[in-house]
Amino acid sequence: MYRFLLFILLCAGLTYCAAPPATDSATDTAPAIAPPAPRPNIVFIMSDDHAQRAISAYTDELIETPNLDRIANDGMLFRNSFVTNSICAPSRAAILTGKYSHLNGKIDNLSPFDPDQWTFPEALHEAGYRTALIGKHHLQARPRGIDEFRGLIGQGSYYAPVFVHNGDTLGPESGYTSDIITDYALAELQRNAAADQPFLLMYWHKAPHRNWMPDTASLPGLLDQRYPEPATLRDDYAGRPRAEHADMRIADMFTSHDLKVTGTYQNPDPGTGGATFIKDPTFDQVKNLDYQLSRLQPDERAAWAPFLAEVGRQWQQVKGTDEELSWRYQRYMQDYLASVKSVDRNVGRVLDYLEESGLAENTLVIYTSDQGFYLGEHGWYDKRFMYEESHRTPLMIRYPALIDAGSTIDELVLNIDLAPTLLELAGVPVPGEVQGRSLLPLFSDPAPADWRDEIYYRYYQQMDSYHRVARHEGVRDERYKLIHFTEPGFEGYELYDLEQDPHELENRIDDQQLAEQQERLKDDLARLRRELRVAD
């Protein structure tokens, strides 16, 4: 009964609609809702490049993630959570601003992010929240309104990371990055537990971003692990020339930087690694791996030495044979999933502390990733495309005051929805420029009838950069997906029936049986562009 009454109280103040007014003013806001008393604390956990398939709350076919599953088991699992632009920094900018890339200005990893624009952490800070960001930020300039900032420089390293702490660049810290980020997150939580102030902790992991270096505890027996190959590992890309042109095949990974074959066993590296556009002869991935290994402490180096020797021995046996692709896939998955395990283990430390300290009952916990990732589907690693594996992202939310344990939701949600959700829960006005929609109505059952029926996607990075993915935009509803490729030389449309073709192998743009659906989706795409103020 308490949960129901609280939800009615919160929803009574909601005036946010699916298409916010076209405004660039952060002062043009929707009325604030009545916040819970006391206002909820927020622990916002985000990893990097974490595929839904690598969380056992979604599927246990690859891995068991008992600690991440605790968030879903005690809260809500979002089965259809998507990003607006599947690449790291733009996705983070979308999350912070609640706006698509074309409005927040961060369209790719190279374009600048304006740190002076409105973000939800600054709004919470101004409303009296203690705010902290610890881990991977990847937007260069320190965001405004952060009381405690301890961010990795750039992508960060898996070992001996370097942090910027409130503007000061520190020296390398011995240890494994997932553990160190968590140590600092726990210190922040301990400080907050002793204070009488609501808080926002953004606890953002580097893992499982490339180059997937496991912690030393994961190395024994890791090379014996075997994972089922995806049905599309050997995709021939028939009827999909943009997919065929992309440089993100596991078959072309760097053997050194990605698969951990040192120069003793292979030099130079035969892989393209997504970097075929780079003509610089000093771009040496064997040396890059050597640099990452040089960051290890003596005890860490001793743990890695037999592992690297066995990797090299296996590589020499399989290279150039029919077994090479399967070996590459297993090698990739071993390291990727071990990196996920480090996140799961450390999230468990944080969840345990929330319970032990008494913070859990009034703390909303979010787990998500900046986007999904290919785990061998279509023969790929990486992200970028609007195809399902990278368009989807995990999302789980635990908040005992409003969410029943073990809840699931199938509605289409976006990463830009997180900012208005957190503001609504804190009783903070949501600016009219925010394009996301609060998820609060989805916490009830059933979901509202006026929830969105389709979502818009846009990828901007040019093809003459990493991974050669053609620029495109698209629209997806519950069953169908239309992708419009706009890259010169690769223009055209792709149409997929996700119910009949969940692996997206058959482009049905010329299928007259879907002519009506094609026309409808093109109209939807044009309408969404207008509503979202997409100018180009």
Q: Which of 305, 334, 363 is the last residue of a domain?
A: 334
Q: How many Å is the maximal CA-CA distance in the chain?
A: 67
The reply to whether 461 falls in a domain is: no
Q: Based on the domain organization, do 95 and 17 belong to the same domain?
A: yes
The answer to whether the bond into 441 is cis (omega within 30° of 0) is no
CA dist 12 and 1 (Å) reads 17
Q: Which two three-digit tokens encode residue 420?
A: 């208005």
Q: Based on the domain organization, do 273 and 221 belong to the same domain?
A: yes
36 pLDDT band, cuts 50/70/90, is low
What CATH number is given to the structural domain containing 171?
3.40.720.10
Q: What is the pLDDT of residues 348-366, one digit of tens each?
A: 999 999 999 999 999 999 9
Kindly report the CA angle at 136 between 330 and 226, in degrees rounded to 5? 10
CA dist 410 and 498 (Å) reads 15
Q: Which of 292, 311, 334 is the last residue of a domain?
A: 334
Q: Based on the domain organization, do 299 and 365 belong to the same domain?
A: no
- Tokens 């607006």 correspond to what residue? 84
The residue with greater pLDDT, 141 or 324, is 324
Dihedral in degrees, nearest 10, Cα atoms 325, 326, 330, 333:
60
Are the CB atoms for 352 and 73 separated by under 8 Å?
no
Q: Based on the domain organization, do 189 and 56 belong to the same domain?
A: yes
Q: Based on the domain organization, do 65 and 169 belong to the same domain?
A: yes
Number of independent structural domains in the chain: 3
Q: What is the pLDDT of residues 6-21, one digit of tens each?
A: 433 344 333 333 333 3
Q: Based on the domain organization, do 515 and 426 belong to the same domain?
A: no
The answer to whether the bond into 268 is cis (omega within 30° of 0) is yes
The reply to whether 119 falls in a domain is: yes
Domain that holds residue 496: 470-531
Task: Output the pLDDT for position 17.
Answer: 34
The reply to whether 460 falls in a domain is: no
The reply to whether 146 falls in a domain is: yes
Q: What is the pLDDT of residues 73-83, one digit of tens each?
A: 999 999 999 99
Q: Based on the domain organization, do 291 and 362 belong to the same domain?
A: no
Q: Based on the domain organization, do 419 and 521 belong to the same domain?
A: no
- Residue 32, pLDDT > 70, answer no
The reply to whether 376 falls in a domain is: yes
The reply to whether 457 falls in a domain is: no
Q: Based on the domain organization, do 141 and 11 belong to the same domain?
A: yes
Q: Which of 334, 354, 376 is the last residue of a domain?
A: 334
Task: Output the pLDDT for position 447.
Answer: 81
Q: Based on the domain organization, do 372 and 502 belong to the same domain?
A: no
Mean pLDDT of 404-414: 97
The residue with greater pLDDT, 166 or 140, is 166
What CATH number is given to the structural domain containing 517?
3.30.1120
The values of phi and psi at residue 406, to 5°, are 75, 15
The reply to whether 465 falls in a domain is: no
Q: Based on the domain organization, do 357 and 439 belong to the same domain?
A: yes
Mean pLDDT of 507-514: 98
Q: What is the pLDDT of residues 410-465, one digit of tens each?
A: 999 999 999 999 999 999 999 999 999 999 999 987 788 999 999 999 999 988 89
The reply to whether 51 falls in a domain is: yes
Q: Identify the three-state secondary structure at position 430.
A: coil
Q: Based on the domain organization, do 436 and 503 belong to the same domain?
A: no
